[in-house]
């Protein structure tokens, strides 16, 4: 009879334990990293999610990965710090609030800067940080006492400090050039923020004639995808060596519609093979044309408003003025056709970049922005990388990383937004003196005149790149900074390797005396659906991680994310079939739970530690499983060290299910029922192996392992698995011979099972019921059953014939466990196994002969068909009901 203390339900219910366990971890301070700890630190800074974000699968993968690493190192005795926080996410957050006030029919300009920013703050205070609470549901073991936000006053000070330092070092400059401009967000974007589409769309290439009065041909034909930019043309360019057109160079062409005369110039940048080999140059609305414009000192008129409407005092004729750029394109095409200047239109793949936040097609636009000179920052990082001072896993990102670092371009850091860190550049309205300042100045330090601050804010990533040290109190030399910088592992998605990772490395080297912020960059894959599409809200193909937590438990979700994909490869999930995806994790948790139930029901109040035994004196099965546990420790530790988290998880699975449950537990059952002395050793071994399994699995599935570990005997008050030491590998235990011996036994048992299955030998209980007269049930003895009894008797006879001590018979009619005991006690296991194996082979032959003699009737009577049918029906109904429930929950969670 199990102790009432161990009466656990036969199925693991995650919801019954998760919340309470998480609270216990937090209360016990397990996640809190102590500055004064003597332990060596291990630090991961969380990629801060947007403050208003809602948890999605990608973040699930990201955070679970970090949690596995941090829990592993924590158990290994490091002072583990996982620093959480959120990002103010300039454009993203501002857009959300702008959409809100748009419902009131207002724009941010109606509201005004100050009121708008206050509005965003209110929104953030109200709905922000929800994601951090969601991370807790996944079991994330962050040090919440150190939660940071990129707009915290202290953090803002750090941002300002870096800007001023870079300014003082001459690394920040005002650039007048063509940048990516979002006509919807009304701001500049960095190169990384203007995304090229995955596949080009079907566009058109328009062949437009520009009259050239003093040329015999009378015109030159230019191919363009964006006819609306014609109005901004200030030159026509051909390649200097293009024989077809050299005669034109120096002549004057007439811009259609705008009716402006522009020069025809020669420039190397022109590709003679494209289109007609003649290019129209629009310096203010095309980055390449801008370069040409610089070389030839061309005029650079803007012909659009920031909103993307056509506008220019002389170049845009009245009917086009105020027209949206795409409407203008259609209208211009119409006009060109009417004037006979549109030679032809060809289909052409067109891949305009889009704003990464609102998906609007970006308009290249000449404007004044602040830039950071990147090359001086990138060079030392690249050098450190080549000296292998930090690594990127998986390795395949090496080339990509190096290529980008080598060809790094200056970083446009100003945004025409209101939500973010205001650029600390001040201008004296009187003497035009301009400087960057750590504090807001009252007046000009040069002439005492009034000052005004730059209206723009900094790119969000300009605060993110300081994350590894600004979160620890920099620029102040805090205790945290001294203790926890530099960190160790950065876990993130490859999408933001340039946005964020590379820049953090640069900031670390530049501002932290050349000390890199981490030693390993771990790049995990992207979560996609079965059609390989990135999971996203807009596509509607997402799986809400919290739905999964509710339906299958946090551990099942974690299991899928960790065991389900190898290092750096994408995770494919089917949003339409959660069960296929997440039941393996749930099933495994349930298996673990039931092993726990079994173990706990067997173990007495006090169990001798395994150390009390001389292992070499234990039975074969005991020695073997202790060996396997030790091997699991070695393998799992090594895998985790190599960042092969999936392998680590799978190795645990194999040990727990394939070795501990399938073989040891089965083998040990008869002994547990035996006298106390033989049972005692088994208790110690069971307790040891189960404890080891729980420790090894804890980083991946923290909840269920903690729940079970709490119930193991000998637990002290307040002791937590989350803070328990990682098991140590013991090289002395390795014994290849022992493995071989056990394998032999295993093979004999498997052989027995094959025979039993092949000849449909029923389980022991049924045989007894069938053979003994009182086992005959009310349905009476059927003819077939009478036959069965006869045949079973014959099988038994055969088996007994061949084997000493009736081992074969045991094997055949038992469940294999008796055989274990018998073989385990054999003086020479190998010899005994070989003998038995031969015996079984002979038995099998005899059975085959017997079967042939008796005809093709089965050896065993089946249960009457109607009974079977009824059972099946019952099961099906139960399953349907469960599925129904699951569907309902899912619908609830998604809506």
Of residues 587-626, which lie at the interface with RNA (CB under 7 A)?
A: 587, 589-591, 594-595, 597-598, 601
> Which residues ranging from 72 to 131 are in contact with RNA (CB under 7 A)?
none
DSSP at 310: B
Asked if 889 touches RNA (CB under 7 A), the answer is no
Q: CB of 484 within 8 A of CB of 81?
A: yes
Among residues 5, 11, 34, 804, which is the contact residue for RNA, using CB under 7 A? 11
Strands across the sheet containing 520-523: 391-393, 520-523, 489-492
Among residues 63, 140, 224, 637, which is the contact residue for RNA, using CB under 7 A? 224
Among residues 168, 875, 880, 887, which is the contact residue for RNA, using CB under 7 A? 875
Of 76, 72, 70, 71, residue with least CA distance to 43: 70
> Which residues ranging from 410 to 449 are in contact with RNA (CB under 7 A)?
none
Asked if 862 touches RNA (CB under 7 A), the answer is yes
Q: Name the residue nearer to RNA (CB basis): 3 or 446.
A: 3
Q: Name the residue nearer to RNA (CB basis): 155 or 709.
A: 709
Asked if 753 touches RNA (CB under 7 A), the answer is yes
Asked if 851 touches RNA (CB under 7 A), the answer is no
Task: Compute the least distance from the CB of residue 353 to RNA, in Å.
Answer: 9
Neighbours of 732 (CB within 10 A): 8
Among residues 133, 202, 399, 728, which is the contact residue for RNA, using CB under 7 A? 399
Q: CB of 695 within 8 A of CB of 656?
A: no
Q: CB of 219 within 8 A of CB of 374?
A: no
Task: Compute the least distance from the CB of residue 488 to RNA, in Å.
Answer: 24
Asked if 765 touches RNA (CB under 7 A), the answer is yes
> H/E element holding 793?
helix 783-802
Asked if 288 touches RNA (CB under 7 A), the answer is yes
Q: CB of 597 within 8 A of CB of 553?
A: no
x/- binding map, residues 156-175, to RNA, per CB under 7 A?
A: --------------------
Among residues 20, 758, 825, 887, which is the contact residue for RNA, using CB under 7 A? 758
Q: Which stretch binds RNA (CB under 7 A): 112-120, 304-312, 661-669, 797-805?
A: 661-669
Task: Compute the least distance from the CB of residue 602 to RNA, in Å.
Answer: 9
Asked if 12 touches RNA (CB under 7 A), the answer is yes
Among residues 524, 586, 688, 890, which is the contact residue for RNA, using CB under 7 A? 586
The gap from C-alpha 463 to its chain's centroid, in whole angstroms, comes to 23
Task: Compute the least distance from the CB of residue 666 to RNA, in Å.
Answer: 6
Task: Compute the least distance from the CB of residue 584 to RNA, in Å.
Answer: 4
Task: Pinpoint the alpha helices (H) of 499-619.
Answer: 502-511, 545-552, 554-563, 578-602
Task: Compute the least distance from the CB of residue 236 to RNA, in Å.
Answer: 11
Of 627, 630, 632, 672, residue with least CA distance to 656: 632
Asked if 359 touches RNA (CB under 7 A), the answer is no
Task: Compute the least distance from the CB of residue 426 to RNA, in Å.
Answer: 32
Among residues 396, 768, 779, 790, which is the contact residue for RNA, using CB under 7 A? 396
> Which residues ranging from 491 to 530 are in contact with RNA (CB under 7 A)?
494-495, 498, 530
Asked if 133 touches RNA (CB under 7 A), the answer is no
Task: Compute the least distance from the CB of residue 675 to RNA, in Å.
Answer: 18
Tokens of 165: 């330092």
- Give first-to-last CA distance, the chain, whole Å: 47
DSSP secondary structure letters along 600-645: HHH--SS---GGGS-GGGS-HHHHHHHHHHHHHHHHHHHHHHTT-H
Place of tokens 């998604």: 894
Task: Compute the least distance from the CB of residue 529 to RNA, in Å.
Answer: 10
Asked if 296 touches RNA (CB under 7 A), the answer is no
What value does the CA radius of gyration of the chain take, rounded to a whole number of Å? 37
Q: Which stretch binds RNA (CB under 7 A): 7-15, 163-171, 418-426, 474-482?
A: 7-15
Q: Which stretch binds RNA (CB under 7 A): 423-431, 558-566, 729-737, 827-835?
A: 558-566
Of 836, 828, 668, residue with least CA distance to 752: 836
DSSP at 665: I
3-state secondary structure of 368: strand
DSSP at 263: E
Among residues 98, 161, 193, 286, which is the contact residue for RNA, using CB under 7 A? 286
Q: Name the residue nearer to RNA (CB basis): 198 or 717.
A: 198
Q: Name the residue nearer to RNA (CB basis): 242 or 437.
A: 242
Asked if 532 touches RNA (CB under 7 A), the answer is yes
Tokens of 169: 């070092």
Among residues 115, 196, 431, 892, which is the contact residue for RNA, using CB under 7 A? 196
Rounded (10°) CA dihedral 703, 705, 707, 711: -170
Asked if 192 touches RNA (CB under 7 A), the answer is yes
x/- binding map, residues 34-53, to RNA, per CB under 7 A?
A: --------------------
3-state secondary structure of 382: helix
Q: Which stretch binds RNA (CB under 7 A): 121-129, 138-146, 724-732, 868-876?
A: 868-876
Asked if 404 touches RNA (CB under 7 A), the answer is yes
- β-partners of residue 207 are 223, 344
> Which residues ranging from 252 to 281 are in contact with RNA (CB under 7 A)?
269-275, 277, 279-280
Do you find a cis peptide bond into 254, omega within 30 degrees of 0? no
Asked if 391 touches RNA (CB under 7 A), the answer is no
Asked if 223 touches RNA (CB under 7 A), the answer is yes
Strands 527-528 and 85-86: unpaired
x/- binding map, residues 328-357, to RNA, per CB under 7 A?
A: ----------------------xx------
Q: Name the residue nearer to RNA (CB basis): 12 or 624.
A: 12
Q: Name the residue nearer to RNA (CB basis): 356 or 418.
A: 356
Place of tokens 């991370």: 135
Tokens of 484: 């926890």
Asked if 358 touches RNA (CB under 7 A), the answer is no
Q: CB of 711 within 8 A of CB of 600?
A: yes
Task: Compute the least distance from the CB of residue 439 to RNA, in Å.
Answer: 37
Asked if 768 touches RNA (CB under 7 A), the answer is no
3-state secondary structure of 381: helix
- β-partners of residue 237 are 265, 279
Rounded (10°) CA dihedral 844, 849, 853, 859: 10
Residue 401 CB partners (closer than 8 Å, separation 6+): 385, 392, 497, 502
Among residues 666, 735, 785, 844, which is the contact residue for RNA, using CB under 7 A? 666
Rounded CA gap, 478 and 110, in Å?
A: 43
> Which residues ranging from 812 to 841 are in contact with RNA (CB under 7 A)?
815
Tokens of 787: 């036959």
Asked if 750 touches RNA (CB under 7 A), the answer is yes
- Total residues interacting with RNA, rule: CB under 7 A: 86
> H/E element holding 354?
strand 354-355
Task: Compute the least distance from the CB of residue 728 to RNA, in Å.
Answer: 26
Q: Which stretch binds RNA (CB under 7 A): 123-131, 538-546, 660-668, 698-706?
A: 660-668
Q: CB of 237 within 8 A of CB of 286?
A: no
Backbone torsion region of residue 226, taken as left when φ is above 0, otherwise alpha when ψ lies between -120 and 50, otherwise beta: beta
Rounded CA gap, 390 and 388, in Å?
A: 5
Asked if 305 touches RNA (CB under 7 A), the answer is no
3-state SS track over 103-127 = CCCCCHHHHCHHHHHHHHHHHHHHH
Q: Which stretch binds RNA (CB under 7 A): 39-47, 513-521, 612-620, 654-662?
A: 654-662
Q: Name the residue nearer to RNA (CB basis): 52 or 590.
A: 590
């Amino acid at each position: 009879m199990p102790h009432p203390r161990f009466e656990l339900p036969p199925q693991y219910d995650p919801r019954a334990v998760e919340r309470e366990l998480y609270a216990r971890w937090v209360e016990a301070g397990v996640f809190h990293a102590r500055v004064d700890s003597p332990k060596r630190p291990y630090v991961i800074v969380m990629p801060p999610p947007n403050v208003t974000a809602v948890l999605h699968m990608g973040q699930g993968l990201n955070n679970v990965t970090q949690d596995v690493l941090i829990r592993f190192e924590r158990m290994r005795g490091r002072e583990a710090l996982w620093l959480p926080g959120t990002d103010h996410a300039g454009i993203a957050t501002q857009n959300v609030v702008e959409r809100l006030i748009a419902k009131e029919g207002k724009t941010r300009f109606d509201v005004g800067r100050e009121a708008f920013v206050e509005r965003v703050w209110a929104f953030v205070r109200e709905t922000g940080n929800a994601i951090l609470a969601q991370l807790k549901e996944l079991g994330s073991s962050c040090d919440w006492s150190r939660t940071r936000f990129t707009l915290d006053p202290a953090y803002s000070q750090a941002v300002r400090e870096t800007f001023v330092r870079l300014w003082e070092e001459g690394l920040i400059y005002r650039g007048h050039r063509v940048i990516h401009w979002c006509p919807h967000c009304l701001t500049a974007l960095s190169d990384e923020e203007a995304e090229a589409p995955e596949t080009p769309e079907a566009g058109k290439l328009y062949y437009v004639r520009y009259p050239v009065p003093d040329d015999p041909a009378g015109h030159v034909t230019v191919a363009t995808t964006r006819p609306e930019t014609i109005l901004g043309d200030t030159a026509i360019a051909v390649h200097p060596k293009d024989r077809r057109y050299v005669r034109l160079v120096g002549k004057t062409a007439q811009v259609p519609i705008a009716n402006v005369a522009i020069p025809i110039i020669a420039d190397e940048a022109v590709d003679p093979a494209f289109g007609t080999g003649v290019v129209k140059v629009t310096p203010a609305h095309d980055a390449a044309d801008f370069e040409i414009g610089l070389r030839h000192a061309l005029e650079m008129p803007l012909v659009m408003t920031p909103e993307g409407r056509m506008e220019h005092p002389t170049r845009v004729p009245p009917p086009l003025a105020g027209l949206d750029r795409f409407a203008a394109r259609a209208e211009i095409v119409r006009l060109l056709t009417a004037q006979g200047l549109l030679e032809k239109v060809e289909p052409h793949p067109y891949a305009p970049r889009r704003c990464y936040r609102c998906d609007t097609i970006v308009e290249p636009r000449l404007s004044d922005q602040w830039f950071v000179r990147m090359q001086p920052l990138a060079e030392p990082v690249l050098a450190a990388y080549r000296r292998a001072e930090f690594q990127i896993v998986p390795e395949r990102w090496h080339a990509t990383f190096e290529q980008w670092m080598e060809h790094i371009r200056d970083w446009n850091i100003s945004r025409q937004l209101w939500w973010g860190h205001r650029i600390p550049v001040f201008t004296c309205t009187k003497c035009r003196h301009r400087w960057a300042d750590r504090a807001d100045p009252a007046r000009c330090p040069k002439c005492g005149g009034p000052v005004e601050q730059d209206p723009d804010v900094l790119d969000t990533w300009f605060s993110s790149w300081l994350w590894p040290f600004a979160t620890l109190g920099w620029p102040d030399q805090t205790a945290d900074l001294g203790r926890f910088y530099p960190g160790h592992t950065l876990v993130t998605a490859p999408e933001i390797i340039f946005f964020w990772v590379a820049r953090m490395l640069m900031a670390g080297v530049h501002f932290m005396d050349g000390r890199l912020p981490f030693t390993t960059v771990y790049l995990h894959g992207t979560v996609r659906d079965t059609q390989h599409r990135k999971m996203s809200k807009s596509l509607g193909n997402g799986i809400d991680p919290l739905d999964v937590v509710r339906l299958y438990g946090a551990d099942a979700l974690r299991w899928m994310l960790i065991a389900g994909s190898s290092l750096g490869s994408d995770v494919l999930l089917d949003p339409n079939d959660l069960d296929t995806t997440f039941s393996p994790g749930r099933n495994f948790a349930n298996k673990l739970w039931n092993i726990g139930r079994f173990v706990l029901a067997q173990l007495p109040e006090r169990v001798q530690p395994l150390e009390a035994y001389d292992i070499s004196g234990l039975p074969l099965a005991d020695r073997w499983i202790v060996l396997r546990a030790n091997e699991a420790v070695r393998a799992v530790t090594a895998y985790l060290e190599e960042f092969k988290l999936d392998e680590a998880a799978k190795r645990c699975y194999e040990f727990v299910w394939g070795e501990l449950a399938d073989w040891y537990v089965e083998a040990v059952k008869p002994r547990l029922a035996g006298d106390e002395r033989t049972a005692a050793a088994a208790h110690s071994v069971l307790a040891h192996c189960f404890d080891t399994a729980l420790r090894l699995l804890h980083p991946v599935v923290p909840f269920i392992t903690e729940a079970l570990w709490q119930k193991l005997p000998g637990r002290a008050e307040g002791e937590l698995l989350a803070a328990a030491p990682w098991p140590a590998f013991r090289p002395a235990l390795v014994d290849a011979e022992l493995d071989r011996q056990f394998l032999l036994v295993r093979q004999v048992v498997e052989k027995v099972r094959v025979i039993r299955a092949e000849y449909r030998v029923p389980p022991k209980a049924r045989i007894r019921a069938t053979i003994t007269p009182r086992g005959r049930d009310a349905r009476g003895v059927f003819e077939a059953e009478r036959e069965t009894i006869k045949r079973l008797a014959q099988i038994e006879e055969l088996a007994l014939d061949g084997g000493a001590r009736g081992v074969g018979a045991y094997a055949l009619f038992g469940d294999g466990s008796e055989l274990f005991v018998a073989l385990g006690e054999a003086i020479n296991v190998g010899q005994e196994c070989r003998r038995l194996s031969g015996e079984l082979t002979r038995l099998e032959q005899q059975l085959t002969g017997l079967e042939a003699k008796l005809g093709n009737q089965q050896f065993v009577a089946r249960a009457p068909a109607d009974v079977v049918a009824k059972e099946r029906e019952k099961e099906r109904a139960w399953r349907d009901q469960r599925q129904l429930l699951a569907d309902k929950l899912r619908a609830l969670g998604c809506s």
